[in-house]
Chain A
Amino acid sequence: MRKVAVLKSQNSTQNVQLLNPVNLSLECSLTADHNNLPNISAFWSQDGREIPDSRLTVALENQQYHLQRLFYISGEEMLGSYSCVFENGVRADFILATPPFGEVRDKPVVSYVRDFVVLPCKMEEAKPKPLSWRWFRGNKTHKEQISEQPERFQIHSEERKSKLKVINLTHEDAGVYYCGAVYAIGTTMNPIELKVITYQEPLKPFIGILIEVVLLVAVIFLCEKRRSKKNTSKGNEENVDQNNIKLQEEEKGAEEGSSMRQRKV
């Protein structure tokens, strides 16, 4: 495999996706500026530390300084950041890694005590298929692999998907879980945080809103009762008069009224 970086005056960064152990040739071509020095010194570094015995003097050829080195990437320890650094400070970084996950979930998954939860993991169609899947628990430094235990953990893996089902949750189950997509050269980790809460947590806002509704409904009905009581007392007084007046009006206006109101209403 061969990866080339062409530089002018700015630094460049390249991501290199690796699946298997490989002989990797990294090359850097620096275009000469107006100085046109005949020779320039450069070195290679791995993860920020200079690789011993890698410092070379590069000759100017066709307006370019050309630097190349062959690396044998055998295992996960060999992955990381490799850089060619020129004397004038210009550098190219090659980041060697296994295929990364596309969507990273930043918010925790929430589930309840004595319930179960399914933590999903997916490697997209665009990326290469992993050889297998593994699940881990722990923190960045120390990860423990989770093995299938019938009553606690169930792992269901397909080619591009894997699910970890944690059954009968307790508070201790909360924390960060890692789903690992395993390739020949290494494993890509995807962290998923799990939060475990009790039913009492959502119960508090639930009851709060319930009380609010009951109060509002009660207030509305009470106001209505009071208003109708007022009307009743008023109405009773005016009743008799009103009835008489209405009856008279009715008899008079029945015919004209009906045709008028038909259009009016």
Chain B
Amino acid sequence: MLEPHYGELNMPPAAATNLAHKPPDGGWGWAVVVAAFISIGFSYAFPKSLTIYFKEIQEYFSVSYSEIAWLSSVMLASMYAGGPVSSILVNRYGSRPVVMLGGLMVSAAMVLSSFGTTIIHLYLCVGVIGGFGLAFNLQPALTIIGTYFQAKRPLANGLAMTGSPVFLSILAPLNQFLFDSYGWRGSFLILGSVVFNCCVAGALMRPVSNQKPKGCLPPSNEAVDQGAVADAGPQTADSDPEEGQHEGKGQTQNSKLVDLTLFKHRGFLIYLVGNVVMFFGFFAPVVFLAPYAKHQGIDEYSAAFLLTIFALVDMFIRPFTGFLGNTRRIRPKIQYFFSFAVSYNGICHLLFPLASGYQGLVVYAVFFGVGFGMVSALLFEVLMDLVGAPRFSSAVGLVTIIECGPVLLGPPISGALVDTFGEYKYLYSTCGVLMLTPGIFFFVMHYFNYKKLEDEQKQKAAGEMRRPEETVELKSNNEANK
């Protein structure tokens, strides 16, 4: 009875959603995808696009290059450190207020910094406040997709993540234009208003339960706790349509602030370990692509064009990956798809030193664009797949703060590698290994994990068949063991 059911419905055997309501999988959900597209776009692309102003700011404040580069690091660190704070807020209040607060924060940060008189002023405004504001955009955007989508979730995630390359392609020339017209101060002021559009994204992030008509039965909190969806189904909304309360009730029962029981979750641990290693080698190849090209004697414009090719490929691969992840064959075993994507990146980097001439670099840019896009599109989808939508908010908060280390350390260590050896090929070989190893690790671990999950499902099914009353106890035991 178990097998046909499961194959037929194309759902993964993992924790499933355990949501206390049924995700619409469409309708207003697509507006939410647009909102997430905007929030994710700003979160990832905004810090990168600010680098255009660095030279002038460096002259203006008479600081060294590394001091100005710190601005990026502080912003990125704040964005990742803000993850858990963001999770807590989303768990309590839902996505919408957090995103709107985030938009306000980044906006205010940019406006304040445009009047800055010292570089410390910039670190605090753009770096800390701006970084936190972006964290308050990223997490909730990812979380709300999990509440609106289940069947079409990989596609929704892939589409939303496309925001990052699209926004980078828009922000880069926009920032250049602003800089030429207004200098850095005026540009920061105007960017403050541009980034204020995050509040529009927040406004679109209507809480799911608002959709349901009033007068529905409130869910029993114990049911949500034990993961059973007995009274769930279409009639889930509270009499109070606030999503925050609705989710909050479920979450606050599970954990006080952040769900630390996740550290006992097998799938979460696999994801965490693999990702920490992977992130050391994930971004460095992008950062060093143009310098490597110039090192090979290629002129500045052609080197920049490589990045354009990379971004274009990335832009189209992300929704396509989301679509692929949604297909019947791949969705149940989406973890293998992710493992493949990570390993593919590793192989790309390992083969890169063989590339010669500008054509070789272009080929690499295309292949790498595919790999980067695939991993990015699936990055959060697989986490949702492993821990389920209700715990996703806490999971992503914990993951980002732990990933903070490798993300920040990756490029400087790579830079040190390049300086020590004077050659780029060791860098790419190292990154290749750093991606291939987690890829293989994921393949192996998820093979075992899928097996274990299937066994657990069989146990549950067998238990339910036997005695309905004892079912509840059995289930709660399983949850605790996970």
Nearest chain A residue, comparing its CB with the CB of B211? A231
Nearest chain A residue, comparing its CB with the CB of B31? A220
Check if A20 is an interface residue, CB within 8 A of chain B. no
Task: List which B334-386 residues lie within 8 A (CB) of chain A.
Answer: none
- Find out whether the CB atom of B185 lies under 8 angstroms from the CB atom of A206: no
- Find out whether the CB atom of B182 lies under 8 angstroms from the CB atom of A197: yes
Check if B252 is an interface residue, CB within 8 A of chain A. no
- Find out whether the CB atom of A228 lies under 8 angstroms from the CB atom of B193: no
Of the listed stretches A4-12, A111-119, A141-149, chain B binds A111-119
Report how far A243 CA is from B194 CA in the complex, Å.
47
**What would 11 more interface pairs be, CB under 8 Å, given A206-B193, A209-B190, A217-B199?**
A112-B183, A202-B182, A202-B185, A203-B189, A209-B194, A216-B200, A242-B215, A257-B230, A263-B16, A265-B19, A265-B232
Query: Which residues of chain B come closer than 8 Å to A210, judged between CB atoms?
Result: 193, 196
Q: Among the listed B9, B62, B186, which residue makes an inter-chain contact with A202, where contact means beta carbons less than 8 Å apart?
A: B186
Of the listed stretches A86-94, A178-186, A232-240, chain B binds A232-240
Check if B324 is an interface residue, CB within 8 A of chain A. no
- Find out whether the CB atom of A197 lies under 8 angstroms from the CB atom of B186: yes
Interface membership of chain A positions 232-265, coded 1 if the CB is closer than 8 angstroms to chain B and 0 otherwise: 1011101100110010001000110111011111
Chain A binding surface SS class: helix
- Find out whether the CB atom of B230 lies under 8 angstroms from the CB atom of A265: no
Task: List which B90-123 residues lie within 8 A (CB) of chain A.
Answer: none
- Find out whether the CB atom of B210 lies under 8 angstroms from the CB atom of A228: yes
- Find out whether the CB atom of A110 lies under 8 angstroms from the CB atom of B228: no
Report the minimal beta-carbon distance from B105 to chain A, rounded to whole angstroms: 14
Query: Which residues of chain A come closer than 8 Å to B185, judged between CB atoms?
Result: 112, 115, 202
Report the minimal beta-carbon distance from B341 to chain A, rounded to whole angstroms: 26
Check if B437 is an interface residue, CB within 8 A of chain A. no
| Interchain pairs with CB closer than 8 A, number | 125
- Find out whether the CB atom of A110 lies under 8 angstroms from the CB atom of B468: no
- Find out whether the CB atom of A250 lies under 8 angstroms from the CB atom of B190: no
Q: What 8 pairs across the A-B complex have the smallest Cβ distances?
A: A202-B186, A110-B183, A235-B213, A209-B193, A239-B215, A258-B230, A220-B203, A217-B203
Q: A221-B203, A239-B215, A265-B150 are in contact. Are A258 and B182 (CB under 8 A)?
A: no
Report how far A208 CA is from B192 CA in the complex, Å.
12
Report how far A208 CA is from B194 CA in the complex, Å.
10
Query: Which residues of chain B come closer than 8 Å to A262, judged between CB atoms?
Result: 16, 228-229, 460
Check if A52 is an interface residue, CB within 8 A of chain B. no
Check if B461 is an interface residue, CB within 8 A of chain A. yes
Interface membership of chain A positions 193-231, coded 1 if the CB is closer than 8 angstroms to chain B and 0 otherwise: 000010101110111111001001100110010001001
- Find out whether the CB atom of A265 lies under 8 angstroms from the CB atom of B22: yes
- Find out whether the CB atom of A239 lies under 8 angstroms from the CB atom of B214: yes
- Find out whether the CB atom of A236 lies under 8 angstroms from the CB atom of B196: no
Report the minimal beta-carbon distance from B394 to chain A, rounded to whole angstroms: 20
Q: A231-B213, A258-B228, A261-B229 are in contact. Are A213 and B199 (CB under 8 A)?
A: yes
Interface membership of chain B positions 1-41, coded 1 if the CB is closer than 8 angstroms to chain A and 0 otherwise: 01001100101000011110010000000000000000000
Chain A positions near chain B (C-beta within 8 angstroms) = 107, 109-112, 115, 117-118, 120, 163, 197, 199, 201-203, 205-210, 213, 216-217, 220-221, 224, 228, 231-232, 234-236, 238-239, 242-243, 246, 250, 254-255, 257-259, 261-265
Nearest chain A residue, comparing its CB with the CB of B185? A112
Query: Which residues of chain B come closer than 8 Å to A258, judged between CB atoms?
Result: 228-230, 471
Query: Could you give 13 example pairs across A and B, Cβ below 8 Å?
Result: A199-B186, A206-B193, A209-B196, A213-B199, A216-B203, A224-B210, A228-B210, A232-B213, A243-B217, A259-B471, A261-B233, A263-B11, A264-B11
Report how far A201 CA is from B150 CA in the complex, Å.
48
Query: Which residues of chain A come closer than 8 Å to B210, judged between CB atoms?
Result: 224, 228
Report the minimal beta-carbon distance from A264 to chain B, rounded to whole angstroms: 6
Check if B231 is an interface residue, CB within 8 A of chain A. yes
Report how far A224 CA is from B215 CA in the complex, Å.
18
Query: Which residues of chain A come closer than 8 Å to B228, judged between CB atoms?
Result: 258, 262
Interface membership of chain B positions 210-238, coded 1 if the CB is closer than 8 angstroms to chain A and 0 otherwise: 10011111000000000011111101000
Query: Which residues of chain A come closer than 8 Å to B471, judged between CB atoms?
Result: 258-259
Check if B206 is an interface residue, CB within 8 A of chain A. yes
Report how far A203 CA is from B460 CA in the complex, Å.
63
Check if B330 is an interface residue, CB within 8 A of chain A. no
- Find out whether the CB atom of B59 lies under 8 angstroms from the CB atom of A236: no
Check if B60 is an interface residue, CB within 8 A of chain A. yes
Report the minimal beta-carbon distance from A155 to chain B, rounded to whole angstroms: 13
Q: Among the listed B17, B186, B461, which residue makes an inter-chain contact with A265, where contact means beta carbons less than 8 Å apart?
A: B17
- Find out whether the CB atom of A118 lies under 8 angstroms from the CB atom of B59: yes
Report how far A14 CA is from B215 CA in the complex, Å.
88
Nearest chain A residue, comparing its CB with the CB of B215? A239
Nearest chain B residue, comparing its CB with the CB of A202? B186
Report how far A205 CA is from B174 CA in the complex, Å.
13
Residue from the set B17, B189, B203, B231 with the largest chain A CB neighbour count within 10 Å? B203
Report the minimal beta-carbon distance from B198 to chain A, rounded to whole angstroms: 9
Q: Among the listed A111, A202, A224, which residue makes an inter-chain contact with B189, where contact means beta carbons less than 8 Å apart?
A: A202
Report the minimal beta-carbon distance from B216 to chain A, rounded to whole angstroms: 8
Report how far A110 CA is from B188 CA in the complex, Å.
13
Report how far A210 CA is from B196 CA in the complex, Å.
7
Query: Which residues of chain A come closer than 8 Å to B2, judged between CB atoms?
Result: 263
Check if B86 is an interface residue, CB within 8 A of chain A. no
Report how far A228 CA is from B59 CA in the complex, Å.
54
Report the minimal beta-carbon distance from B251 to chain A, rounded to whole angstroms: 18
Report the minimal beta-carbon distance from A62 to chain B, rounded to whole angstroms: 39
Q: A206-B189, A209-B194 are in contact. Are A201 and B182 (CB under 8 A)?
A: yes
Report how far A118 CA is from B57 CA in the complex, Å.
10
Report how far A118 CA is from B180 CA in the complex, Å.
16
Q: A206-B190, A206-B192, A265-B17 are in contact. Are A236 and B215 (CB under 8 A)?
A: yes
Query: Which residues of chain B come closer than 8 Å to A236, judged between CB atoms?
Result: 214-215
- Find out whether the CB atom of B186 lies under 8 angstroms from the CB atom of A110: yes
Report how far A199 CA is from B186 CA in the complex, Å.
7
Report how far A213 CA is from B6 CA in the complex, Å.
45
Nearest chain A residue, comparing its CB with the CB of B213? A235
Report how far A144 CA is from B5 CA in the complex, Å.
87
Check if B430 is an interface residue, CB within 8 A of chain A. no
Task: List which B451-482 residues lie within 8 A (CB) of chain A.
Answer: 457, 460-461, 464, 468, 471
Report how far A82 CA is from B465 CA in the complex, Å.
102
Interface membership of chain B positions 26-67, coded 1 if the CB is closer than 8 angstroms to chain A and 0 otherwise: 000000000000000000000000000000100110100000
